[in-house]
Amino acid sequence: MQYYSTSEKSPDATLSQAIVHCVAPDGGLYMPRTWPVVPKAFFNNIDQLSLLDIAYVVANQLLGDDVDGAVLKTIVADSMNFRIPLVRLSDNIFALELFHGPTLSFKDVGTRFLARLYRHLASSSSGRHINVLVATTGNSGSAIASAFKGLEGVDVFILYPRGRLSRMQEAQFATIGENTHPIEVRGSIDDCNRLVDTALLDSELNAMFHLTSANSLNLGRVLPQIVYFFEACARLKAAGIEPSETDFAMPCGNLSNVTAAAMARRMGAPIGSIIGACTPGIFADMAGDGVSGPPLGPTGSSPANMPRLLALYGGDADALRREVHAEVFTTQAQEDAVREVYSALGYVAEPRSASAVSALLRRSRPGRHGVALINTHPAKALDRMTAITGRAIELPLQFTRFMARTVVKDKIDPTLPALRKILLRHNQQ
């Protein structure tokens, strides 16, 4: 398979180049040249297949030309070694719980797959040392630290804004050590993102340190997320429900799940509408029912996967709107959604995932079913959840273990020289 850049100013890349370099030299994101379509017969008995069977079929369609089947099987088995249950909340509403992995968010699925694909691609090519940079407000940092921990030939630098994370969020990635290096940045998440983007496109820094990223800019993080849409189809079919009469709602930020859902459709997953529960901003204005109002916080920046999502519809926003809809939730509306979902369905979901369920309730029509993606365990948003519900959320065991350990971190201003110094220190040993 060849991979093109969404900016269309760089030559096509191989799988290995697309994954290892993450961002194309022209600043675009990599996309497969063609979309393989899963054979129709696959759906005849999909309800009898396991998550791993389904994951292997999807992964093999996408990556089978470039990665040996036996290797791919191992990567799939090692990265999706936890449950992704489809929980029935009412006659027509289901929750696809994506938070049963080691760091309790959907990001475990893509990140664990990426780390293992990475190890395979790197060991079969140059074997050179690689430095992974990521900017995070919590969930991607912990998923990446957990997935890349101890991986030979890779160091991981996790940049996060000072004062934005709870002690517990920080502890989840800043107490791991080994090849994972937390960096607290005196600035906002936008400053962190800018610093990572600048570093990734800086040719001198790249020549020295072979930089890459492991967030959803990396295609290898997004492709595995296609799997759970097929998995949901299987479990719906087992419950006697037509996936094509089922809409899929999901929280969104950088649109990795909305994009993966659209990719799943291109590969033949017979799913209904894709509903993005989002905050006001660029995606809401494009796919919502009107202008959504001022974006929350200082960011007016475009979601990272927007170029991929648009590319799936040939750059045609009208075509996109026929399949993808935005439902807008302010911070206040997210909190209302937590209470609404609990009182209507007896289900405890964190604010962004609750918004996805609430989006289904808003749009519910007779005869139509809905699946909401539950992105993280409610305890991941512990402070907000306690404030909203006035009740204690039970802490999963993973969390209490992290809290007992010591945080070790660097602290820097958001400048390239400051980051360079830290990279240098960890690459000299």
Nearest to ligand PLP by Cβ — which residue? Answer: 253
Alpha-carbon 407 to chain mean position: 25
From the CB of 367, what's the least distance to ligand PLP, in Å?
Answer: 28
Nearer to ligand PLP, 66 or 340 (CB): 340
From the CB of 169, what's the least distance to ligand PLP, in Å?
Answer: 11
From the CB of 175, what's the least distance to ligand PLP, in Å?
Answer: 19
From the CB of 99, what's the least distance to ligand PLP, in Å?
Answer: 9
Counting Cβ atoms within 10 Å, is residue 400 exposed (0-12), middle (13-18) or buried (19+)? exposed
Nearer to ligand PLP, 105 or 213 (CB): 105
From the CB of 101, what's the least distance to ligand PLP, in Å?
Answer: 12
From the CB of 218, what's the least distance to ligand PLP, in Å?
Answer: 12
Task: Give the footprint of ligand PLP on this chain (CB under 6 A).
Answer: 105, 107, 139-140, 216, 251-257, 352, 375-376
Nearer to ligand PLP, 61 or 216 (CB): 216
From the CB of 221, what's the least distance to ligand PLP, in Å?
Answer: 9
Nearer to ligand PLP, 51 or 306 (CB): 306
Give residue for tokens 């994101």. Answer: 29
Nearer to ligand PLP, 179 or 216 (CB): 216
Nearer to ligand PLP, 210 or 380 (CB): 380
Nearer to ligand PLP, 292 or 375 (CB): 375
